[in-house]
Structure 1
Amino acid sequence: MQSASPFHLPRPAARTVILSALVWTAISALGALQTYSDNLRTGVASRYPVLLATWFIEYAVPLMVLSAVLVTALGRWPVLVARPRNVVLLFIGLVLLFQPAQWLYIAWLRDYLDIASFADVRRLLMKMLLVGWFTTTATFAAILAIHYWRQAKDRELAWQRAQNDMLNLRLQLEEQRMLALRAQLEPHFLFNALNAISALVRAGDKPVALAGIGRLSTLLRYALAASTDNTATLAAELQFVRDYLDLQRLRYGDRLRVAIEGAGDALLDEVDCPPLSLQPLVENALRHDIDCHDGPGDITLSFARDGDAMVVTVTNRVPAQASPNPGAGLGLANTRDRLQRITPGAALHAGVRGERFVAELRLPLAKE
């Protein structure tokens, strides 16, 4: 692996140096133009190219070197300006080192270094004393401002990257949780469907059991298709529930009594919900009603609009002497969890009201 050259500048620092060079070149061009204009008014003979070269060599070159040194130093050692005290010390050091060097450089170019006495030194100092203070201070302030701005921008970009990484991680976790929920729900549904068919097989009714297997294949096709989608329409979910009830009817016979109300509402084709949302509610009703006694069931599945929501209600009678239901409760819990994650504004409430168990699913209607 090749090591980086000590003179290699990062791209942002290189851009700052180039920008500084362009700015001081432009200032030199304007300064030379002003000097040339003044010479014309006073009748002094001069040439603009010579004046431009003088301005550039005397003023622009030192300040371009200063800019490059400051940018490199701040890029390598940000601690130099990490505190206000450090900034003051850096500026003092800059004045003590760069300003005399700039004076000597300009004096050398102007042939002022022919010094024979202390008086010559004093005259040179008086000539140079006011040269470069403003430009040196302005260069330092500009480079410092650019450095702080770039640090703030880097922190903002780092914060945005951290936020994006966090959001992506949360999204991945949500996707994994959804996959885990589906992995729980689909075997749970499959287990209960197979349980219905196994009851037919044990009863020795093979033709009916074969019909049940055919109905199960229809249900599995929908479940497999739903495993790749995040949403389904209420109309599709209702058809799936009808097929599921047809399978269960092979097992329960005339005991299975389910009233479906509001199924003709055209909004059912427009309301979205997570796949396999209704079937767990109906299955829960079966297990809390018909599985807990020997009589006929009394289950109602209704669809009704309530303001800006479609309300799906599944109710079943809770017999006073009913035995405890052996279900694991995965259906309702997983359905509620999937609703919260996939359909904002949806809600599922379930509990006993009087002599009936009520599961109420609210799904927001699409805004027109």
Structure 2
Amino acid sequence: MNHAFPAAPTPPFKTVAWAVLAWTAVSALGALQTYSDNLRAGAESHYPALLVTWFIEYAVPLIVLSAGLSLALARRPELVARPRRVVALFVGLMAVFQPLQWLYMAWLRGYLPVAGPDEAWQLFLKMLLVGWFSTTGTFAAILAIHYWRHALQRELAWQRSQTDMLNLRLALEEQRMLALRAQFEPHFLFNALNAISALVRANDKALALGGIGRLSDLLRYALSASACNTATVAEELQFVRDYLDLQRLRYEDRLQVGIEGAGPWLHEIGCPPLILQPLLENALRHDLDCREGPGDIRVCFARELESEAPGEGEVLSIRVTNPASGQASINPGAGLGLANTRDRLRLMHPAASLRAGLDGERFVAEIRLPMGDRD
């Protein structure tokens, strides 16, 4: 993305005002120096008269030069875009401005008109050294200010473009998170309804009605959590307990889940909302749906020291494990749960992760969350 951010040109009156102010100050200093020299030499001198002389003879031409050159460069910066153009501008300036300045000062000092070529030559020699230094210095100063302003404008434009890039990336990440939520929540609803539909097929109306009530509570939490960027791990654990109560209507005593390491400290750790339920759902699908008998699902919360992290920060490990089965699940799902969970964790924190795979005879899904302050 490449944006141009043209800076608003300085108003002409402001440019002229700055030039008048600067050269008035220089005239005041020059007049003061002349006044001091006259006093040391014993000559009669009046500072106001000297100040007027300095301003009229020296400051007025340089005010015209400063203001005119500043306005020209502001409107046509290409005049000094390359070194050879700078040289050409300087030569042209000296060829035009310097003779005009000489004529102006000669007129003020009564050297005009001249009677002939000899007087013109003498006048040229007399005025030769007048104004060279001040004109060259003024040109260099205006050029330096011009380059500084343009460098500042480029820096500001770069900063604005970086800010726009960051804002765009943030907006894209937020839209991606919303898309993941929109994809995940119908998926959760579908699987919860599956549990109730199993009760309906078994003609167990009382349990089915109880399941609908539990599902209403779950959806209430899911809707409120969807409006937030973060929840606490403790809140997510309670949601998982309620979800397991709903699933227990379907699996009855076969549903056995052991939870270890949970405690009040989980209230202090933030995580994306609806992050644990897909792990339990995946464990149920690949444990109880693949074999007979009671399940053996374990959920373990533990604090660990992440040695690879800068400063060796502490992380929360959440491990959900279930026996690995060689049989295919009768309800394989759409494969969205773990993938979405992994993406949502990465969007929340670059160091957060989800790793899933076989560990011996058990399938392990592990979430690792940096234990920072909750936002």
For the aligned pair, the TM-score class normalised by the smaller chain equals: over 0.9
- Tell me, yes or no, if the aligned pair for 2:283 and 2:297 is still in contact at 8 Å: yes
Q: Distance in 2 between matches of 1:189 and 1:272?
A: 21
Equivalent position SS for 2:289: helix
TM score, norm. by length of structure 1: 0.93
- 8 A contact 2:269–2:373 mirrored in 1: no
Measured at CA, do residues 311 and 12 of structure 1 come closer, stay the same or move farther in structure 2, by a change above 3 Å?
farther
* Contact persistence 1:293–1:322 (CA under 8 A): no
Separation (CA, whole Å) in 1 of partners of 2:229 and 2:316: 19
What corresponds to 1:167 in structure 2? 166
Deviation at 1:279, TM superposition (A): 0.5
CA RMSD of aligned residues (A): 1.8
Counterparts of 1:203-222 in structure 2, within 5 Å, are: 203-222=202-221
Aligned CA distance change for structure 1 residues 67 and 83 (closer, same or farther; 3 Å):
same
2-side partners of 1:344 and 1:355: how far apart? 30
Deviations 1:165-221 (A, max 9, x none): 111111110010000000011111111111111111121111111111111111111
Answer whether contact 2:70 2:142 (CA < 8 A) is retained.
yes
SS for the counterpart of 1:95 is helix
Rounded Cα–Cα distance in structure 1 between residues aligned with 2:345 and 2:70: 55
Counterpart of 2:61 in structure 1 is 62
1:96 to 2:95 alignment: yes
Distance 2:113 2:158 in 1: 59
Does residue 133 (structure 1) correspond to residue 139 (structure 2)? The answer is no
Letter in 2 for 1:309: V
Match of residue 348 from structure 1: 354
Query: 3-state DSSP class of the match of 1:267?
Result: helix
Alignment pair present for 1:191 and 2:190: yes
Matched with 2:151 is: 152
Match of 1:6 in 2: none
Who is 2:308 aligned against?
Answer: none
Whether the 8 Å CA contact 2:358–2:364 is kept in 1: the answer is yes
CA distance in 2, matches of 1:92, 1:305: 75
Structure 1: runs of 5+ lacking an equivalent:
1-8
Instruction: Give yes or no for the alignment of 1:296 onto 2:302.
Output: no
The residue number in structure 2 matching 1:331 is: 337
Matched, 1:240 2:246: no
Q: Deviations over 1:224-278 (max 9, x none)?
A: 1110111111111111000000000001111211111122x33212121111111
Could you say if the C-alpha distance between residues 164 and 367 of structure 1 is closer, same or farther in structure 2, counting changes exceeding 3 Å? Answer: closer
CA offsets 1:25-53 (integer angstroms, 9 cap, x no match): 01111111222222233333332222111
- Report the Cα distance in structure 1 between the residues aligned to 2:235 and 2:27, rounded to whole angstroms: 77
1:277-312: CA deviation from partner (whole Å, max 9, x where unpaired) = 111100010111111233322211111221211211
User: Which residue in 2 is equivalent to 1:358?
Assistant: 364
Equivalent residue letter for 1:151: H
- Percent identical across equivalent pairs? 70
Segment drifting more, 144-153 vs 317-326: 317-326
Counterparts of residues 37-116 of structure 1 (less than 5 Å): 37-116=36-115
Q: Kindly tell me: are residues 133 and 278 of structure 1, through their superposed partners in 2, closer, same or farther at Cα, counting changes over 3 Å?
A: same
Q: What is the CA–CA distance in structure 2 between the aligned matches of 1:49 and 1:245, rounded to whole Å? A: 96
Pair 1:269-2:275 in alignment:
no
Amino acid at match of 1:267: W
Q: Which moved more, 1:297-306 or 1:138-147?
A: 297-306
Give distance in 1, aligned partners of 2:12 and 2:300: 69
In structure 2, relative to structure 1, the CA distance for the partners of 1:321 and 1:188 (3 Å cut) is closer
Residues 289 and 330 of structure 2 are in contact (CA less than 8 Å); yes or no, is this contact kept in structure 1? no
Contact between 2:299 and 2:318, CA under 8 Å: does it hold in 1? yes
* Alignment deviations for residues 118-162 of structure 1 (CA, whole Å, 9 cap, x no partner): 221122111100000000001000000000001101111111111
Residue number in structure 2 paired with 1:225: 224
User: Are the aligned partners of 1:292 and 1:322 in contact in 2 as well (CA < 8 Å)?
Assistant: yes
Q: 1:131 to 1:62 in 2, by over 3 A?
A: same
Residue 289 of structure 1 contacts residue 317 of structure 1 at CA under 8 Å; is this kept in 2?
A: yes
Residue 310 of structure 2 corresponds to none
What SS does the aligned partner of 2:334 have?
A: coil
Secondary structure of 1:292's counterpart equals: coil
Q: Distance in 2 between matches of 1:77 and 1:291?
A: 77
- State the partner residue of 1:4: none
CA distance in 1: counterparts of 2:219 and 2:112, whole angstroms: 98
Deviations 1:301-342 (A, max 9, x none): 111221211211111112234457522121111111010111
Give me the whole-angstrom Cα distance separating, in 2, the residues matched to 1:42 and 1:302.
97
Q: How many residue pairs are counted as aligned between the two chains?
A: 359
Question: Residue in 1 aligned with 2:249?
Answer: 250
